[in-house]
Amino acid sequence: MENIAVLGATGLVGEEVIKILEERNFPIRELLPFASERSEGQVILFKEREIEVLTDYNELIGQAKIVFGCLDAPLAKEIVPKFAEQSVVIDNSNAFRMDPEVPLIIPEINPEKASKHKGIIANPNCSTIQMLVALYPLHKKAKVKRIFVATYQSVSGAGKEALEELRYEFEYLSMGHDIEKTEDAVFSHPIGNNIIPQIGGFDDQGYTSEEMKMLYETRKIFDDESIQVTSTCVRIPVYVGHSEVLSVEFEKPISPAEAIEILQEAPGVEVFDKDGTYPTPISAVGKDAVFVGRIRKDLVFENGLALWIVADNVRKGAALNAVQIAELLL
């Protein structure tokens, strides 16, 4: 049993990591939670014990075998390398994902990469995780060539403040008021009763950073620079659960019936294969699986399939994937 640290322990992902560690009975000698000074005085309940949240990360350096990084990218860039000198850090931010020295791991796809770290292992983006968990078994059969994907991403992907913003806007709308944005708002437009076709900043081609993550991370995880990905990432007024619609071209023919059969045997996947049934974000909340439905022949690509994919973005899209990586290290 080892000491385990969680950086960002009071955020959405940090809290979920701690919850999953307890659920899966991860072998821990001592849990060491860290959060910013805003969390000073808070305690975390873990295995019926109250553990005080530390607000000076320097106290934790070298004290844990495995560290879960649940910080935003700027802070992760500053802090994670200090821990990586003496611990293995599984980092949830985008700070190190494209570093060639850092493995980018989804345990259902490339678990062997876990042994090739140099102190840091990166957890992929939530939208990339659920897409590739569903596509990898089909990729092994017919080889993915091109992906067109539109995401419908819940506000929890932007953190606790985003959840509160949506709750506030729903309440305000229910009283018949118009929403007026404030300078400290999480989103650039109202999210209550609205959708926002932007997640992240725009590049010079008009794509957002979230959209480009799906391209670059797919190539790195599949270890194939030839795969093409075009994505449009959209924020929707749902609390938890990301959804995606995919149009995928394969190098080899693959029928919907073959895809269903393959996915029914795939780790981490649950298939809705009966006519008129499909997953929704509500059906994914709190679940470990990536849910796939509406598997059908694509009408554009000769060797193509269209799919609908749903997963709990906080759980499988972040915390569970990180804990699964830690289990590989054991």
Is the Cβ–Cβ distance between 233 and 153 less than 8 Å? yes
- Which member of 70, 139, 233, 242 is catalytic? 242
Residue 304's φ and ψ, nearest 5 degrees, are -135, 155
Sheet hosting strand 269-271, strand order edge to edge: 228-235, 144-153, 242-250, 304-311, 290-297, 269-271
Is 233 catalytic? The answer is: no
Q: Catalytic one among 70, 117, 126, 139?
A: 126
Long-range contact set of residues 198-207: C-beta below 8 Å, sequence gap at least 24:
198/233, 198/235, 199/151, 199/153, 199/157, 199/233, 199/234, 199/235, 200/233, 207/231
- 139 classed as catalytic: no
Q: Which residue has tokens 């992760």?
A: 76
Catalytic residues: 126, 242
